[in-house]
Amino acid sequence: MLRATRHTLISESPAMVDRPSSTHSQSTAQLSNAARPSHTPRRPTNVPGIRTTRGKPSVTPTPIPAAGQPILPILPIPVPNAAKTPVASKKPWLPAGRWEMPDVLKTNPLTPTTPSPTSPAAPSAPKKKETQTPVLKPWIPVGRSPGIPVPPAPVKKSHPIFENKMRKSLPKSKIMNVDPQTQYVGFKKIGSGANGAVVKATKRNNNKERLAIKRCFIDDSDTPHLAYILRELRIMGCLNHENLISLREATLWGDYVWMAMELMRCSVFGLLCNISTGLPEDLAVYVLKQSLNGIIYLHNRGYMHRDIKCENLLLGSNGEVKLADFGLASPTNRMNNMRLGTAKWMAPEVIRELQYTESVDIWSLGITTIEMMDRVPPLYYLEQTDDIFAEILWGSRPPFFTFSSPSEAMAAIVRWMLNVEGPRRPSAVLVLEEYDIAIRNGNLKCGTIEDLARFVQQVFENTPA
């Protein structure tokens, strides 16, 4: 029984042992079939050398056979739950090297294509890749491109302290950071101011925009001169009145500051140089009233002009009157005792270098009134500054009209304005009120803006603007 059971076990593992002879195999099979019922499982349970615990076979020592019994080889029996040999890991999936996106609009990619029965499909030769000759772009030399504008080179700031003060004094919209010579064309000198020469020019990109440009030299060691330039920029750039000249734009380029202002037709001085006599009294009254409006606004904003004369009263082609050149202007809330201005238009307290107020502008306007009607200022015959000062302080007669015949009302107002004592001199508001009273009473005639525009156009009829 032992031999049959052992042979049966061996026959179930043909891959592990050699097959026995045919006679031995047949007798073994008969014994095995007779000893094992049909419902018995294939795996033996009562085999010497094998112990089963809850369905898990384990190997036990085999007893030594008795004498006379044949010794059969003990073969290893495979364990069901033994560790399996490791399986080689699969390679990652790679897409096909060549593929083509189907055109779903023309053909249905799900419909299989069948070859035509009449013409059997012939093996197609492999297509060669079409190589396109690359189009070479034209060679461009290294250098400046004609189509792209080159940005301007940065300019080193030569006067950083002055530039910072200028930027604080003006609105950002009136500060220009480019070379003025590239922005304006047609420079022509038309006059001079307290701080520099004045030229007229035209905008390069707009021929109809004509400006008056004052160019002032910047010297960092001359602190008072720089203060006057900054004050003039502040007044023209920040104060806005129809009888004050306004600043359009300003820039510091190199050692010069450029002030672009609105261009007027001429000054009262330029108008007098083109006529043989002084202005008619009615036009002089109109110019004086417009000038007083600008002076009142300037005084109310805390500044005195200190250089009022016919050269600084500008006229437009349409009869506008504007006060210009604020290079010597000074605040009224500080002590002013410096001798500044033009000699023949200076008040006595300015010449003496005493403390003075904005009433010095009234004295200068009185001298300007005589200049407009006489065509020349008083003391026109003197050239030395000391002689002019001596005549103003100790002259035998006060300044008055010489070549014209003013009305009594005009003469009385001018004498009032030329009072030697500054505190007793009237203010600009009182002078304007006195002119209005005289006009209402019929003692003075006042022209209109149309009359002044017509007169200016007649004088410069044959002179290009």
Q: How much of the chain, in percent, has pLDDT values that exceed 70?
A: 68
Residue that terminates a domain, selected from 263, 281, 311 = 263
Q: Which domain holds residue 400?
A: 264-465
Residue 336 above 90 pLDDT? Answer: yes
Residue 170 above 90 pLDDT? Answer: yes
Do 253 and 311 belong together in one domain? no
For residues 9, 11, 15, 21, the Cα torsion angle rounded to the nearest 10 degrees is: 140
Residue 145 above 70 pLDDT? Answer: no
Name the pLDDT band for 344 (thresholds 50, 70, 90): very high
pLDDT at 75: 58
Do 178 and 327 belong together in one domain? no
Measured distance CA(50)–CA(415) in Å, rounded: 150
Residue 374 above 50 pLDDT? Answer: yes
Average pLDDT, the chain: 81
Residue that terminates a domain, selected from 244, 263, 282 = 263
Question: Domain for residue 463, yes or no?
Answer: yes
pLDDT at 191: 79
Do 435 and 379 belong together in one domain? yes
Measured distance CA(45)–CA(140) in Å, rounded: 95
Do 355 and 219 belong together in one domain? no
Residue that terminates a domain, selected from 209, 228, 263 = 263
Q: What is the CATH number of the domain that holds 309?
A: 1.10.510.10
pLDDT tens-digit series, residues 118-141? 555 555 556 666 677 777 777 776
How many domains does the chain contain in total? Answer: 2
Name the pLDDT band for 13 (thresholds 50, 70, 90): very low
Question: Domain for residue 276, yes or no?
Answer: yes
Lowest mean pLDDT among 109-123, 132-146, 288-302, 310-324: 109-123
Q: In terms of pLDDT, which residue wins out, 323 or 9?
A: 323
Name the pLDDT band for 282 (thresholds 50, 70, 90): very high
> What average pLDDT does this structure show over 30-57?
50
pLDDT at 139: 77
Measured distance CA(62)–CA(284) in Å, rounded: 149
* 3-class DSSP assignment, residue 89: coil
Contact call for residues 440 and 446 (beta carbons, < 8 A): no
Residue 21 above 70 pLDDT? Answer: no
pLDDT at 197: 82
φ, ψ of residue 304 in degrees (nearest 5): -115, 150
159-173 burial, b at 16+ Cβ within 10 Å, e below that, comes to: beebbebbeebbeee
> What average pLDDT does this structure show over 244-248?
94
Do 193 and 297 belong together in one domain? no
Do 284 and 250 belong together in one domain? no
Measured distance CA(388)–CA(393) in Å, rounded: 9
Beta strand pairing call for 56-59 and 50-53: antiparallel
Do 375 and 397 belong together in one domain? yes
Residue position matching structure tokens 């000893």: 35
Measured distance CA(322)–CA(341) in Å, rounded: 19
Residue 303 above 90 pLDDT? Answer: yes
Contact call for residues 58 and 77 (beta carbons, < 8 A): no
Distance of CA 40 to the CA centre of its chain: 100
Contact call for residues 456 and 315 (beta carbons, < 8 A): yes
Question: Domain for residue 383, yes or no?
Answer: yes
Q: What is the CATH number of the domain that holds 197?
A: 3.30.200.20
Do 171 and 258 belong together in one domain? yes
Do 221 and 275 belong together in one domain? no
Do 297 and 375 belong together in one domain? yes
Measured distance CA(144)–CA(379) in Å, rounded: 64
Do 316 and 255 belong together in one domain? no
Question: Domain for residue 201, yes or no?
Answer: yes
* Nearest Cα residue to 196 out of 261, 264, 265: 261
Contact call for residues 332 and 296 (beta carbons, < 8 A): no
Do 228 and 198 belong together in one domain? yes
Residue 149 above 50 pLDDT? Answer: yes
How far, in Å, are 3, 39, 69, 255 from residue 35 at the CA level?
12, 12, 21, 128
Question: Domain for residue 299, yes or no?
Answer: yes
Question: Domain for residue 35, yes or no?
Answer: no
Measured distance CA(459)–CA(451) in Å, rounded: 12
Name the pLDDT band for 462 (thresholds 50, 70, 90): confident
Question: Domain for residue 105, yes or no?
Answer: no
> What average pLDDT does this structure show over 90-114?
64
Question: Domain for residue 289, yes or no?
Answer: yes
- Residues forming the active site: 307
